[in-house]
Each structure stands twice: as C-alpha cells, then as structure tokens.
C-alpha cells in the first residue's frame, strides 16, 4: 500500500462517516492542511499523525512481513470482498 492508496482510503472513510475535512481535522486533532495533503497522497506526511488519523477513523495498523504471503493474500482477498 502506498501513500496515495492510504489517502484515498482515509478520504472515503471520512466521507462515509459524514465528516467534512474541517470537522474530521478537529475531531482527529490534526490540521486541515495536513488532512488534505494526506488525502491527496502526499508521501512525506508525518507517520505519527497518519497513524493517529487511521486510529481515529477506526482502523488498526498491522505490519506483516512480505514473507507471510499466504496470510497477506488471505487478507487482501477478504478486504476486497467487502
């Protein structure tokens, strides 16, 4: 997953939850500019703030080694089915 896909996910979830960027930024305790840049896939976004936004929107970040191909493929398949 790259910064553009993360940004698209965050934007989609924010809109599904009915937040404007300003409302979400206030709720997530980040600046509107930061949230806008994050949603637009800016690759230099601060990781700590990115994780804060993801957690605030109800996501848990999990790191899985690429060597665990079966697990990764299972997760991708099930995420795509939703």
Question: Which distant-in-sequence residues (6+ apart) come within 8 Å of 53 by Cβ?
Answer: 10, 28, 30, 35, 38
Q: Output b/e per residue, 51-79; b: 16+ Cβ within 10 A.
A: eebbeebeeeeeeeeeeeeeeeeeeeeee
Answer yes or no: CATH 3.30.70.20 is held by domain 3-80: no
Tens-digit pLDDT profile for the chain (82 aa)? 788 989 999 999 999 999 999 999 999 999 999 999 999 999 888 989 999 999 999 999 887 777 777 877 888 788 765 5
């Amino acid at each position: 997953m790259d910064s553009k896909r993360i940004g698209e996910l965050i934007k989609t979830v924010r809109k599904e939850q009915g937040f404007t960027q300003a409302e979400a930024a206030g709720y997530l305790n980040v600046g509107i500019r930061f949230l806008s840049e994050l949603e637009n896939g800016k690759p230099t976004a601060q990781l700590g703030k990115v994780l804060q936004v993801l957690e605030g929107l109800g996501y848990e970040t999990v790191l899985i080694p690429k060597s665990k191909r079966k697990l990764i493929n299972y997760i991708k398949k099930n995420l795509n089915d939703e």
